[in-house]
Chains A and B, each alone.
Chain A
């Protein structure tokens, strides 16, 4: 990873603060390499969205290239200008999501940087998903065209109904997941339902652990840095669904519990706690820790939802695998319209004892910018906590301006500190 960064002439990634997170980071790199191995064994590789049920892939032993994750990594490695440029040269308009332009660039490039030579394999099949935004289901067209591969779309209804989730919606999405299985079976894979139940039981166990970790993160002072949280939230994507992974997360929970018991925070003298409700600054990951120099910690970040590991364990029943996955996905706060997300952020503001909210607007995101004003109002109404909404394309480095972003955050921190002083 470090070599990649040097090549990219990019601000270095922060170092993990917790030992166990460092271990996860190394595991992530190893995990990516597995797809090449599977390809060499002749298994058809699937190009997919990260927001499709990973349990299905695991239960069928399907090697997956998560396109949008590689897109995110292109930005993390400072290569977004290059890969967005490749996508644009192929005809992808510059106004569509920068993550997906990176994805198209990585997937369709004739030559790739080292990390992608390892993590990307030419796909044989493609699966797309319209959850939670149009980009997830439309960007894969470029990849399908490039490789001329069979593809399949999974349709997730939005959560438009008031009250209880209606059965017809759960049945429909469960049917969509069965359709995804049928597509994979048509291309040589076999579903083992027992194995699927085990995978779902694993998710339930992992998500239960994640929920315990979240409770630790609510402590004051915050025991976990924003960057560590991002790594931990995305690690299960590539770390195998094995006991070893559960053990790592148990260790993370225990380390955090220990920190909480000792009152050890990530900054010496914690003065402010922040919530980040926009697309995170992938091309300058240091930004999530930036406020720490002023004693302000990003205690909670949207990325933990984007990675898709926050499916409510209470909604998962391994005996009904497809229905469980459907129910959990439909109730995912990311599922439009915005009220699920707004409620989630209002709750997070309370539970993480937030002092201020950073609402970064990524110009090319079709989904989040239309909910930020409502989130700001809802948080203000429910808790009195202020939000700053500011433009930040933290994905396409060509549109990112570190100095002005720092200035915006600093000015907001000044307001929050003055507010706090006045209140005390």
Chain B
């Protein structure tokens, strides 16, 4: 993005992503406990209420070295990369791994993880995959209670209703602030670039939320005061598999696209809904999670497509880029139906299959350039 100076606070978010694990390591050094989280259905609020730092495990763009001994190379490279981190000791600070019932490989970590990190307990929140249904309430609430019990056992701290309500309040504030930051991308030109938005959302997901909220408030103030940047190309929405590396967004923006919206696990999916503090806090979490039809492992799939189309409208996107990590089956299956729905609205789509270790990135630039040049800005 060219133009006036960018908000200084963005450097603090960038610093987090240079070494995300420094955040949990510091927490640990201060005597706290840390839970690795993967993915969206193990509510972080419960961990926070128990005094634990939830750490949504990020990967690193490097070739898989050790995990292939446990998971065949034809399984998701992101998960194999995380397993590498477990195997080479980079996650030794974890006191718990909190999983959810999402894709095939994530579920398999319930088997594989104990072999790789036998001293770190694993708990899987067996969330229903079929959401937007009142009928799953009894089942899902019981799963949330079981998760709470496990967290209490690991943390050694009871999770009382008031404490959980406080945690929800804190997280809701983060989600509201993030929504406000993202709202600034509706503007034309947007007040922050796609890469800046990604860095902010991803770093916020990793930081303790009280600290993140403070930084987000500063960011909002700085953005409001800043001159809008200049010089824009077509407005792009990015969707797809787990993206924990800004390189792809950087490339899109380098070839002239402006990423104005993203539908990703590391960004808008985690802050899309708020729980509220009315009534029983577990019930509030259920109500929120039951609306998270944002992951390709949840149903009804049409709700995901509706959200993408709504985001296209809300952020005035001219085109969509879907990127799929190799062997990410849930998202791969959505390529064809998503194309059909976007074509019906004359919204151009390109689908990229990429390696988590950035393999194949070289050829992407030319493809992205051709795509961006082809899209007519509205």
Interface residues of A (CB under 8 A from B): 90-93, 95-97, 130, 133-135, 137-139, 141-142, 145, 153, 155, 157-158, 160-161, 166, 168-169, 171-172, 175-176, 179, 336-339, 342, 361, 363-367, 369-374, 377, 389
Question: Is there an interface contact between B353 and A370, defined as CB atoms closer than 8 Å?
Answer: no
In the complex, A81 Cα to B115 Cα: how many Å?
38
Residues of A within 8 A of B87 (CB): none
Q: Among A169, A342, A372, which residue has its beta carbon within 8 angstroms of that of B72? A: A372
30 contacts between A and B (CB under 8 A): A91-B336, A92-B336, A93-B353, A96-B329, A134-B330, A135-B329, A137-B299, A138-B301, A138-B330, A141-B334, A141-B336, A142-B336, A142-B337, A153-B299, A155-B130, A157-B128, A168-B143, A169-B126, A179-B135, A336-B107, A337-B111, A337-B124, A338-B111, A339-B111, A342-B111, A364-B74, A369-B71, A371-B108, A373-B69, A374-B70
Q: Among B104, B139, B336, which residue has its beta carbon within 8 angstroms of that of A172? A: B139
Question: Is there an interface contact between A171 and B138, defined as CB atoms closer than 8 Å?
Answer: yes
Additional A-B contacts beyond A95-B329, A364-B74, A370-B108 (16; CB < 8 A)? A93-B335, A95-B327, A96-B329, A130-B129, A138-B330, A138-B334, A141-B337, A158-B124, A158-B126, A160-B126, A172-B128, A363-B74, A365-B74, A369-B71, A370-B71, A372-B72
Question: Is there an interface contact between A93 and B332, defined as CB atoms closer than 8 Å?
Answer: yes
Q: How far is the CB of B128 from chain A (nearest CB, A)?
A: 5
In the complex, A133 Cα to B105 Cα: how many Å?
10
Question: Is there an interface contact between B139 and A370, defined as CB atoms closer than 8 Å?
Answer: no
In the complex, A338 Cα to B136 Cα: how many Å?
25
In the A-B complex, the 9 residue pairs with the smallest Cβ-Cβ separation, listed nearest first, are A138-B333, A91-B336, A369-B72, A172-B139, A155-B130, A370-B108, A366-B104, A168-B142, A337-B110
Question: Is there an interface contact between B326 and A374, defined as CB atoms closer than 8 Å?
Answer: no
Question: Is there an interface contact between A96 and B72, defined as CB atoms closer than 8 Å?
Answer: no
Q: Among B111, B124, B143, B333, which residue has its beta carbon within 8 angstroms of that of A141? A: B333
- Taking the complex as formed, is B358 at the interface, i.e. its CB lies under 8 A from any CB of chain A? no
Among B111, B296, B330, max chain A CB count under 10 A is at B111
Q: How far is the CB of B7 from chain A (nearest CB, A)?
A: 39
Question: Is there an interface contact between B108 and A95, defined as CB atoms closer than 8 Å?
Answer: no
Q: How far is the CB of B242 from chain A (nearest CB, A)?
A: 14
Interface size range of chain B in the complex: 35 or more
In the complex, A158 Cα to B101 Cα: how many Å?
8
Question: Is there an interface contact between B108 and A337, defined as CB atoms closer than 8 Å?
Answer: yes
In the complex, A169 Cα to B141 Cα: how many Å?
11
Residues of B within 8 A of A176 (CB): 130
Closest to B336 in A: A91
Residues of B275-308 contacting chain A, CB below 8 A: 296-297, 299-301
Residues of B within 8 A of A97 (CB): 329
In the complex, A142 Cα to B333 Cα: how many Å?
9
Q: How far is the CB of A336 from chain B (nearest CB, A)?
A: 5
Question: Is there an interface contact between B115 and A374, defined as CB atoms closer than 8 Å?
Answer: yes
Residues of A within 8 A of B115 (CB): 374, 377
Residues of B within 8 A of A363 (CB): 74
In the complex, A144 Cα to B221 Cα: how many Å?
48
In the complex, A4 Cα to B130 Cα: how many Å?
40
- Taking the complex as formed, is B339 at the interface, i.e. its CB lies under 8 A from any CB of chain A? yes
Residues of B within 8 A of A91 (CB): 335-336, 339
Question: Is there an interface contact between A338 and B108, defined as CB atoms closer than 8 Å?
Answer: yes
Q: How far is the CB of B282 from chain A (nearest CB, A)?
A: 14
Q: How far is the CB of B150 from chain A (nearest CB, A)?
A: 11
Closest to B125 in A: A160
Q: How far is the CB of A248 from chain B (nearest CB, A)?
A: 36
Question: Is there an interface contact between B327 and A172, defined as CB atoms closer than 8 Å?
Answer: no
Residues of B106-157 contacting chain A, CB below 8 A: 107-108, 110-112, 115, 124, 126, 128-130, 135-136, 138-139, 142-143
Question: Is there an interface contact between B104 and A374, defined as CB atoms closer than 8 Å?
Answer: no
Q: CB-defined interface of B323-356 with A at 8 Å, one 1/0 digit per residue?
A: 0101101101111110110000000000001000
Question: Is there an interface contact between B110 and A374, defined as CB atoms closer than 8 Å?
Answer: no
In the complex, A175 Cα to B134 Cα: how many Å?
12
- Taking the complex as formed, is B75 at the interface, i.e. its CB lies under 8 A from any CB of chain A? yes
- Taking the complex as formed, is B364 at the interface, i.e. its CB lies under 8 A from any CB of chain A? no
Question: Is there an interface contact between B129 and A155, defined as CB atoms closer than 8 Å?
Answer: yes
Q: How far is the CB of A176 from chain B (nearest CB, A)?
A: 8
Indicate whether A366 sits within 8 Å of B129 (C-beta atoms), given known contacts A142-B337, A338-B108, A339-B111. Answer: no
Closest to B140 in A: A172
Residues of A within 8 A of B335 (CB): 91-93
Q: CB-defined interface of B68-107 with A at 8 Å, one 1/0 digit per residue?
A: 0111101100000000000000000000000001011101
Among B101, B110, B332, B334, max chain A CB count under 10 A is at B332
Question: Is there an interface contact between B340 and A96, defined as CB atoms closer than 8 Å?
Answer: no
Indicate whether A138 sits within 8 Å of B72 (C-beta atoms), given known contacts A155-B299, A172-B139, A366-B105. Answer: no
In the complex, A93 Cα to B326 Cα: how many Å?
10
Residues of A within 8 A of B299 (CB): 130, 137, 153, 155
Residues of A within 8 A of B138 (CB): 168, 171-172
Q: How far is the CB of A78 from chain B (nearest CB, A)?
A: 24
Question: Is there an interface contact between B336 and A370, defined as CB atoms closer than 8 Å?
Answer: no
Among A133, A168, A342, A363, max chain B CB count under 10 A is at A168
Indicate whether A145 sits within 8 Å of B72 (C-beta atoms), given known contacts A138-B334, A338-B108, A370-B105. Answer: no
Residues of A within 8 A of B103 (CB): 134, 366
In the complex, A377 Cα to B136 Cα: how many Å?
37
Residues of B within 8 A of A171 (CB): 138-139
Closest to B74 in A: A363
Q: Among A145, A168, A374, which residue has its beta carbon within 8 angstroms of that of B112? A: A374
Question: Is there an interface contact between B327 and A370, defined as CB atoms closer than 8 Å?
Answer: no
Q: Among B104, B128, B336, which residue has its beta carbon within 8 angstroms of that of A90? A: B336
Residues of A within 8 A of B112 (CB): 370, 374
Indicate whether A96 sits within 8 Å of B104 (C-beta atoms), given known contacts A169-B139, A364-B74, A372-B72. Answer: no
In the complex, A219 Cα to B105 Cα: how many Å?
37
